[in-house]
Amino acid sequence: MARKSTAAVDLLQEKVPRKRQSAYANLANKDLQDVLIAPRERSLAYVIPPDANVQEILRSARNAFYKDDNVIGVGLGPRRVNHRTRPGEFALIIYVQQKLPESALSPARLIPKEFMGLKTDVVEPLAPSAPKTAVDYQVDHQLMHDMSSIDWGRLHDLTMRHEGPIVPHPVKVQDFGDICVIEDDGTLIKTAANGEQYTDWVRGYQLFRTLHGDDYDFVTFFTDTASGMLPQGGSSFWSGIYNNVQGIGLGAFNSRGSWGTNRLQGFHFMNQGHFPLWRYVMGQEFCHQFAAFVRYRDPVTNATMTDHLLNGVLGHWALNLDDDKSPMDYDFNNWIELSNGQFQKVNLTDEERTYCNLDLYLMGLLGANEVGEFTLLRNPQPVGGSTTTFTATPARLNIQNFIAQEGPRIPGAAAAPKYWRQAFIVLTKDIHKVHDLVDTIDFLRLRWELDFPGMTKGLGRIDTVLDARPGRITPSQIAELTGGGYTALHRHKISSNDLQVVTTQFTGSLNPGQTHTWFTHSWPLDWFVVWSLRPTTNGGKIKWDVAVERAANNTHTYHLTVTNVGTGATNFEAKYAVLK
C-alpha cells in the first residue's frame, strides 16, 4: 500500500531511552528547547488538533484500511521525511507489511493524503532498512512506537492464513522458578511479506499456555538475543490487547480473540538495555494501559487542550507538566516551585520514580476527590543562561478539568481492580544456556513486586508468581517465608518484606460514646484477613465489629464498625493480618 505521493515517510514517538543517567541532562535540555522552539517551526498541514476525536479516527482508520491485508496497524506520531523527523509535524500513521510503489496498487488500496481531517503517512515498521538497535536516542527511538502501534494479533492472524496450521511437535516450555522459559520450536520468528523477520508474540503466548492457564492480566516478554532471538530494535514497549475502561482517553478495543484469552489486557516487551532503568521503564510500560491519553478542558477558555502531553500527542506527559516523579513523562526532571514564583528543574533518578495522583486516578487507585491540584507551566523561559531555573505562567489544574473533557473514569476507584497478575516470559533459542539471563530477570521481577506498592502509595499490588500461590499457610510456613534464603514454598528468594504478616490499614479517632463505620475495599477473595483494632491513646477503650461484603468485581469489602466505650476521646489503629 502506498500514498498518492512519492515522499518517503517515517515515524517518531517518544519512549524511554537506552542511555544511562550520565547523558540525561543534555537530553532533558534538548526536550525543553523542543517545547520552546518546535511550535514556531510547525507546519500547519501536519498537526493533530486538540479537539480531534483521536480514538474515533483510529477506530475508523482500522475499519477503512484493515480491508487490505498489507495494513498491520494505525497510530499517531511525528512525521518522517527521508528517514528524518520533522520537528512539530504529526500525522495519522498507517503501518504496512510492505511499502509498494503506487503503480503496483489498485486505486482502492491507495492511502489518501488525508483521513478525517488528518494528514497521513505510510510506514513499513519491519522494513529491511529499519535499524536493528537503538543507536542514537534522538534519531532511532521512533522504533519503540512502531513496535507498540503494530496490531500484533492481526499480524499473527494474517501470517497464519498463509502458513497454514502448525504441525504439532515437542515444545520445550519450562519454568525456572517464577520465570517461564520458552525455547523456539521454529514458530516464534516469522517472516513478513518484505522478507524481514519479526517475533510473533501471540505464538509466544500460545506456547506459554501449554504450561499455564489464562490467569494473567499482563505478560511481559524478554528475548535471549545471545542465543539468536531478535532484539526488537533496542526498544521496550507496551501493546494493548483489551480496554473497556471509560474516561481515560484511550477508547475501547479488543484483540483477545486473536490471542485466545479472556483475561489479558496487554503485553510488554522489555529490552535488556533498559535493565539499569528498570523501575522507570517497567513502571512506564505497565501504566501505558491507562496513561497518558487524557485531554483536559481549559478552566478559563473551555477549549480542549493537549499542551500537557508531550508535543501535544497522546502517550506521555509533557516536560512542562509538573507530574511530580511520574514515570509517564519522557524527561528526567521534577519541577519545584520556588518562593519567588520561579520554577526549578531537578534531576530524578530511576529509584525516585513514583506515580503521580493523576496516574493513580487513571489506574483506578484514587478517587476523583483525592487527586488534588497540579501545575502546568505555560511559556517556560530560562532565567538568564540557566538550564535549571525558569519563569513560567502556572496553570492550576484539577481532575475536574479532565473529567469535563473525557467524562468520569468508569469503573471508579471503588470498583476498579487494585491487584494485577503479571507473568514474565523469556524466549530463547537454547533453553540450556539461558540461566544467567533468567537469574537477572527473576531479580528484576522481585524488585517490581516490591517497587509497585511504593510507586502506587500502597494502593496497588502486582503478583508475578506463576500459577496459584501456596494454600493457606501455617505459622511454621510464615517463619520459613520471612526467614530469608530459599524456600520450597515460593521457589524464589524471599526477603523479610515479601510477606507482610501484620500491617496498619488506617487510623481513626472517636469521642466518648461515638460509633463510626469505616470500609476498605478490593481485597482478593483468596486472602484470609484477620482484623485487630487497638486504641493508641492512654486509657482509651474501644470495641469493634467486622462485616464482609462480596463486591461486584469479585473482591471483598470489609466494613469495620468501631465504638468508643471509654470515658475520653481516643485514637486507634486498624491492623490486619493476611493468613494466605
Strands (DSSP E) contained in 197-293 are: 197-199, 218-223, 237-240, 242-243, 253-254, 266-269
At residue 170, the pLDDT reads 65
Query: Burial, 463: exposed, middle or buried (Cβ in 10 Å; 0-12, 13-18, 19+)?
Result: middle
DSSP string for 481-522: HHS-S--TTTSS---TTSS-SEEEEEEEEE-TT-EEEEEEEE
Q: Which residue has the cell 500514498?
A: 3
3-class SS of residue 455: helix
Question: 231 with 394: CB under 8 angstroms?
Answer: no
Secondary structure letter of residue 408 according to DSSP: -
Cβ neighbours for 367, distance < 8 A, ≥ 6 positions apart: 361, 412, 413, 414
* CA angle centred on 36, ends 33 and 39, rounded to 5°: 120
Question: 17 with 91: CB under 8 angstroms?
Answer: no
The whole-angstrom separation of Cα 205 and Cα 476 is 37
Residues in the chain where the model's pLDDT stays below 50: 2-42, 134-140, 470-473, 491-493, 495-497
Please state, as a whole number, how many other Cβ atoms lie within 10 Å of the Cβ of residue 237.
Answer: 26
At residue 239, the pLDDT reads 95
The whole-angstrom separation of Cα 230 and Cα 132 is 9
Element (H, E) at 64: helix 54-65
Cell numbers representing residue 509 in the block = 479517632
Question: 318 with 35: CB under 8 angstroms?
Answer: yes
Question: 123 with 11: CB under 8 angstroms?
Answer: yes
Question: 219 with 182: CB under 8 angstroms?
Answer: no
In sign, the C-alpha dihedral spanning 128, 129, 135, 140 is negative
The whole-angstrom separation of Cα 398 and Cα 411 is 19
At residue 226, the pLDDT reads 94
At residue 16, the pLDDT reads 32
Smallest Cα–Cα separation from 7: which of 82, 71, 77? 82
- Distance from first CA to last CA of the chain, Å, rounded? 55
At residue 19, the pLDDT reads 35
At residue 422, the pLDDT reads 96
| Bridge partners, residue 547, by sequence | 559
Question: 514 with 566: CB under 8 angstroms?
Answer: no
The 3-class SS string of 109-157 reads HCECCEECCEEEEEECCCCCCCCCCCCCHHHHCHHHHHHHHCCHHHHHH
At residue 44, the pLDDT reads 59
Question: 570 with 540: CB under 8 angstroms?
Answer: yes
Largest CA distance in the chain: 91
**Strands 179-183 and 419-428, how do they pair?**
parallel
The whole-angstrom separation of Cα 305 and Cα 402 is 10
Secondary structure letter of residue 215 according to DSSP: -
Query: Burial, 541: exposed, middle or buried (Cβ in 10 Å; 0-12, 13-18, 19+)?
Result: middle
Phi–psi pair at 44, nearest 5 degrees = -65, -20
At residue 145, the pLDDT reads 78
The whole-angstrom separation of Cα 289 and Cα 274 is 19
Question: 300 with 378: CB under 8 angstroms?
Answer: no
At residue 10, the pLDDT reads 27
Secondary structure letter of residue 246 according to DSSP: B
Q: How many CA atoms lie within 13 A of 480 on its CB side?
A: 13
Secondary structure letter of residue 182 according to DSSP: E
3-class SS of residue 280: helix
Contacts 24+ apart (CB under 8 A), 34-43: 34/87, 34/311, 35/318, 35/319, 35/320, 35/380, 36/380, 36/381, 37/87, 38/87, 38/88, 38/311, 39/88, 41/87, 41/88, 42/87, 42/88, 42/89, 43/86, 43/88, 43/89
**Strands 218-223 and 266-269, how do they pair?**
parallel
Q: Which residue has the cell 483468596?
A: 526
At residue 475, the pLDDT reads 56
At residue 58, the pLDDT reads 94
| Per-residue pLDDT tens digits for 233-249 | 668 899 999 999 999 99
